[in-house]
Amino acid sequence: MMARALLVWVGLLLLAVLNGGVRDTWLSPRMGEGPARALSSLLLSGLILLLTWLTIGWIRPVRPGAALSVGALWLVLTLAFEFLVGHYGFGKAWAELLADYDVRRGRIWILVLVVTVLAPLWAARMRGLAESGSP
């Protein structure tokens, strides 16, 4: 199950990179940085939900705890990629990376992380794959 979840996360990563490219290329120049980042976060959240919905049957979590484990794996991988590759690969300052978490400045990136961790559970339950009850 976790190997399949890892492969799906690679798909999520590709969607996130494409989403960032769309934001930087088309949305930010037309809307400004703040609104573009907010729309981009909403779009990515929707893409995460869609890909999870399409692949949860292949991942096959059989219990809510297993679905949450998939979400936790995706969250850890996403944060590791964001901070490690963002800082060491792209040379972004830690403060710049952390700025996406400042909801007081209208940054709603945290929504993407919440969706990432909960999407497998939601999709599995909606598709009748994860039994109800204790994790």
Residue 85 lies in a domain: yes
Residue 11 lies in a domain: no
Residue 91 lies in a domain: yes
Tens of pLDDT, residue by residue over 27-62, are 999 999 999 999 999 999 999 999 999 999 999 999
What is the C-alpha separation between 133 and 44, in angstroms, rounded? 30
Residue 12 lies in a domain: no
Q: How confident is the model at residue 134 (pLDDT cuts 50, 70, 90)?
A: very low
Residue 7 has pLDDT above 90, yes or no: yes
- Mean pLDDT (the chain, rounded): 94
Tens of pLDDT, residue by residue over 109-132, are 999 999 999 999 999 999 998 765
Q: Are 15 and 81 in contact (CB under 8 A)?
A: no
What is the C-alpha separation between 22 and 52, in angstroms, rounded? 21
DSSP string, 12-72: HHHHHHHHHHHIIIIIHHHH-HHHHHHHHHHHHHHHHHHHHHHHHHHH---SHHHHHHHHH
Residue 133 lies in a domain: no
Measured CA distances, 73 to 37, 43, 107 (Å) = 24, 21, 23
Q: Please count the structural domains in the chain.
A: 1
Residue 49 lies in a domain: yes
10 Å Cβ neighbour count for 112? 22
Residue 105 lies in a domain: yes
Q: What sign for the dihedral angle of Cα 41, 42, 43, 45?
A: positive
- Mean pLDDT over residues 64-81, rounded? 97
What is the C-alpha separation between 56 and 58, in angstroms, rounded? 5
Tens of pLDDT, residue by residue over 78-95, are 999 999 999 999 999 999
Predicted TM-score (pTM) of the model is 0.92
Domain of residue 56, residue span: 34-126
Residue 68 lies in a domain: yes
